[in-house]
Structures are given as structure tokens and as C-alpha cells.
Chains A and B, each alone.
Chain A
Amino acid sequence: MTTEALASPQIPTRGLLSRAFAGRSGPLAVVCLVLLVLWYLGAVWLNAPVLIDGYERRDVDWTFSQLAGDAMAMERPILPAPHQVAAELDKSVLGTKITSKRSLVYHAWVTLSSTLLGFVMGTVLGVVLAVGIVHVKTLDRSLLPWVIASQTIPILAIAPMIIVVLGNIGFTGLVPKALISMYLCFFPVTIGMVKGLRAPDPLQMDLMRTYSASTGQVFRKLRWPTSLPFLFASLKVAIAISLVGAIVGELPTGAQAGIGARLLVGSYYGQTVQIWAALIVAAVLAGLLVAAMGGLERLAARRMGARP
């Protein structure tokens, strides 16, 4: 951009680039580019010692460009280069039948299904607990401390053991993993909803009282709508940790299926490229899930007449 363009920002014929930088896509692209460059540099730097070791053992002369080239083409690099991961993704996402056990789409689906099941169960549990806590004084005093204490258990650390124990008593497949997810994601929902259901201001509550509204009517017509923004904020957190729970739950399943299983197999055989590909898929999945919650939130906000 020239100084002239800066001085007169109203000029209608702006280029693609300046429009991109007026929004979010431009800065985002720059950040991605910087990360990519850092990744390449990191790949060379981390893989170099192994390679140099090899060169010296075989007594070959090497140049930096040779080192850089080799560092990005190793079969089992410490840190694979982005294009290696991209190639692996291409092979295992697009190049394989999605029903095959080599397809990352298949594994992502396995993880996604338990994520969603756990998320739904956790959300329902979280909302039910919050409704109880807000309406019943005894529950308020007795339950909330336990809800908070529940999260002090390092569930991620003992999740594999829980899966094994549940497996031994006959629970296998989707449900045990979903239980881990549920355990993680009911918490933000409960905390958010307790706050949300108590968010109506005193005047709005007084109004309901002047109508002699029943507790159920106050809930449906005032507390619930007031709490929705809080619910959606909680759901965004909940769905992301629900995915984490599902992946951790997959680690001890005997490496059958799911992104977690894929990570485990990768680390057994030192297949770092495969691990990174699985990580990328997990990250994309998490991003999509959170974005979906954001979409739902906007939809609800529009229906509830929120200011645009």
C-alpha cells in the first residue's frame, strides 16, 4: 500500500490484497506462512544431528544444501517437514477408501462418533446438574463442591486404566471412550449454566413474580433464554475437550481404531510422519467442531433478535 492509498481509504477500487488485509484472512495467511517457515527450519535443525552422524560414519563430505534436502526426506525423521505430512495426509485421507483401516477418515469418524456421544451425554448431564443446583438449595450446597472436586482427578492420566477396567466388565467400543469425554465436558457446561440460569436481573425476576408465574414458567420463559449465551460459551469448550477425552480413551484400546490408536501405532513403530498426519486431522476436527458450535450460537442469536 502506498501512502496515497492510506491517506484516502475510501477509494472503491482496492486490490485483492488490501481487501484481504482489511479483513481477517490477510493477517491469518501471514501467521500461517511464518509458522510454515519456522516448521521447515525446525525440521532441518532437529533432524540435522542424526544426519550429520550418518555422514561422518560413512565418511562423506556434506554441504548445507545437501543436509537440508536430506532432512526433509527422511523416512523416520524426528520432525517431518510439512510437505511430508501433507503427502501422508493426501495418501491416507484422499488416496485410501474411507472404509479401509488405513484411511484417516475412517479413524477420524471413529473418534468423532465417541466425541459426539460423550459431548451429548456430558451436555445433558451438565445442564441437568445446573438446573438442580439453581433450583434446589440443598443441591447448591452439596453438589457444587463435588462437581468442582471431580475435575481435580487427573482423568486424562487414569483414562486408559478406566477403559481397561470397563473393558473387563464388558464395556467395549464406543461407550467407555464416550464416558471419558462426558466426564470431561459436563464440567464447563454445569459451571456455565449455573451462572447463566442465575443471570436474569432482579427486575426480570420480579416481573415473573407479579404474574405469579410457576417455577417451570420462570425457567422456560426467563432462565433458559437468559442462559443460552452462557451455554454456547461452555459448549465450545466442552466439545474441544470432549475430543481430547475420546483420543485419550483410544490409546489403550489395543490400537484398533481412532485417531488415538493411530497415534499409538505411530509411536510404536517410530512413524513420525503418520503421527503428525493424525495430529493434523485431530486439530482440523477440533477446529471444525468448535466452528460448528459457533455457527449454532450465531443461529440462535439471530433467532433471539440479537443486535447484528
Chain B
Amino acid sequence: MAVEAAMQRERAAQAPAGEAGNAVIEVDDLSLTFETADGPVYALSEVNLTVEAGDFVSFIGPSGCGKTTLLRVIADLERQTAGRISVNGVTPEAARLARAYGYVFQAPALYPWRTVERNVMLPLEIMGLSSSERKERAARYLDLVNLKGFEKKFPWQLSGGMQQRVSIARALSFEPDLLLMDEPFGALDEITRDHLNEQLLRLWERTGKTVVFVTHSIPEAVFLSSKIVVMSPRPGRIIDVIDCQLPRDRTLDIRESQDFAGIAHRVREGLRAGHSYDD
């Protein structure tokens, strides 16, 4: 049992993620049903999806369409009730044990008793990095999210946008190839959100990480993604997968372009189709 887990861990760690055309996440006829007191809730129904290495994939859909649940299944925070899923070629559990992904939650989920710096160091402490390495990484990733100089502050001394940037630095600090983001900018004002979107895009462009991003904002999805997965609720399912081949070095100005409007229109159509199903 332990040997098997160790082997899986090794495989998961070795799985190359930087090359194009390599499936990082493969979801096959996946369903998830929550048993509640009021009867079963069909959170996900026969979902099929492939995420390639280096993709920026957005899940978009109204509340309750299962986009967060799908992300949580990928992260092994929930288990599917039917179907198969592999992350880096192994089960989500093995991928989690191999620390294959960084997860950014809807809320910053910082530990209030730790300084900004020590919040970023948290995963590094757990993963057993040396203290000099921890210090160096915290400095590097706080710099990356433009929070140099805030190392010794406590979370309550920071604005909501800064807190969420700390949580992104924390997810990046242990350098996972896969980044799972669950509406990370949902609670922020639009100006901060635009700014962070642009920063995230630069980060993706520079590091070539695979990103899976949950949102319910159409402009955000179109602006960030290389692939948009449109989902609809009750039961949660995928109704459209839209390739979004805007140039990688796009800036916020691209939102005025014809291409952008075209893709946004297709996403909106897809969302509307999903809804009419519902009435």
C-alpha cells in the first residue's frame, strides 16, 4: 500500500507538465452526487474534459453549476461518485500527496496569527524546506505579486486585494506546475480585479504553468483563458468548450477588439442556452 502510494507519488512528480500536447487533467464521464436530507443533489453529471499542459482553462457558469465542485474534485477535496479522473496521469489523491498543485480559494484564507511572509512560508514549512530557502522563496514570490515591503505586516493590515495576492504568492511559493484558482478575484472591486487579471496573465505567460480558473465573469474568462469551459446547473454539466486563441501577450485593451467581443458573445450564448434548459 505504502509502496504503491510512493510509486504513484514519484510518477506524479515526474510527469512532465511543460510540454504542449500533454494532458495534465483528464476527466472521463465524471459524475458527483451529494446525498442530502432532501434527496440527492446532482452536482456534476457526465463531465468530459481534457486540460493540456500550459493551458489556461476557465470554468464559467452561473452559481450552482458545479464549477467549484469540479475544481475540488481535481484537487481531491471532493470524490466523484462515478467516472474517472486523472491528474498528472495519476489519481487526484496521489497528485495531492505529490503536492502537484497550488490552490487559491475564493477567500484569501490567510492565517491571521502569521505575518504575510510567514503565511507564504506555510506550505514550505509543511514541505520541509530549509529556513534560508523559505526566506528566499517568500521574498521572491511576494516581489512577484508586488508586495515587497509588506513581509512583516499581519493580514488585517492589508486590503482585500493585497490579501488575495498574498494567497496567490503562497500558492506559487512551492512552485507547482498546476494552479487551481476558485474565483480568486470574486470579492474584489473591478479596478483591483483588472489589475490582478493582467498580473496573473503575465505570470502565466512567463512561467508556462497550467492554470484552471473558476469564474462567473465573462470578460474575465475571455481575457485570461486559452480555453473556456461553459457549464450549466442542475445537473452540473459542460455545454460548450471554446478555444480562445488571443495572443498570449494580450493587454486589457484587447477587450475593445472584435475577436474579444466574438468570443464573449459565444460564451454568453452558451450560458443562455444552459439556462433555458432550466425553466
User: A residues touching B (Cβ–Cβ < 8 Å)?
Assistant: 201, 203-204, 206-213, 217, 221-222, 225, 304-307
Q: How far is the CB of A223 from chain B (nearest CB, A)?
A: 11
Query: With the chains together, A36 CA to B113 CA distance in Å?
Result: 45
Instruction: Determine if A225 and B96 form an interchain contact, defined as CB atoms under 8 angstroms apart.
Output: no
- The 22 sampled A-B contact pairs (Cβ below 8 Å) are A203-B105, A203-B106, A204-B111, A206-B77, A206-B103, A206-B105, A207-B103, A209-B76, A210-B102, A212-B99, A217-B126, A221-B122, A222-B111, A225-B111, A304-B112, A304-B113, A305-B115, A305-B154, A305-B156, A306-B112, A306-B113, A307-B156
Known: A209-B77, A212-B97, A305-B113. A221 touches B105 (CB 8 A): no
B125 within 8 Å of A (CB atoms): yes
Report the interface size for chain B: residues with CB under 8 A from the other chain: 25
Is B126 in contact with A211, judged by CB distance below 8 angstroms? Answer: yes
Given known A206-B77, A305-B154, A307-B156, contact A211–B127 (CB-CB < 8 A): yes
Q: Which residues of A contact B154 (CB under 8 A)?
A: 305
Give min CB distance, A31 to chain B, whole Å.
35
Q: How far is the CB of B138 from chain A (nearest CB, A)?
A: 15
- A135 CA / B132 CA spacing, docked (Å): 33
B79 to chain A, nearest CB (A): 13
Report B-chain residues with C-beta under 8 Å of the C-beta of A204.
109, 111
Q: Which residues of B have CB within 8 Å of A306? A: 112-113
| B107 close to chain A: CB less than 8 A | yes
Q: Which residues of A contact B53 (CB under 8 A)?
A: none
Closest chain-A Cβ to B56's Cβ sits at a distance in Å of: 20
Q: How far is the CB of A186 from chain B (nearest CB, A)?
A: 26
Min Cβ gap B104→A in Å is 10
Contacts beyond the supplied A203-B107, A207-B109: 13 A-B pairs with Cβ under 8 Å:
A204-B111, A207-B103, A207-B105, A208-B126, A209-B76, A209-B77, A210-B75, A211-B99, A212-B97, A213-B126, A305-B113, A305-B114, A305-B154
Closest residue to A212 on the B side, CB-wise? Answer: B97
Min CB distance A229 to B, Å, is 10
A225→B110 CA distance, assembly (Å): 13
Measured in the bound complex, the distance between the Cα atoms of B111 and A201 in whole Å is 10
State A212–B107 Cα separation when bound (angstroms): 20
Distance of A225 Cα from B118 Cα, bound (Å): 14
Nearest A residue to B93, CB-CB? A212
Contact B103 A212 (CB under 8 A): no
Contact yes or no, A211 B123, CB < 8 A: yes
Please indicate the chain A residues that have their CB under 8 angstroms from the CB of B75 in the complex.
210
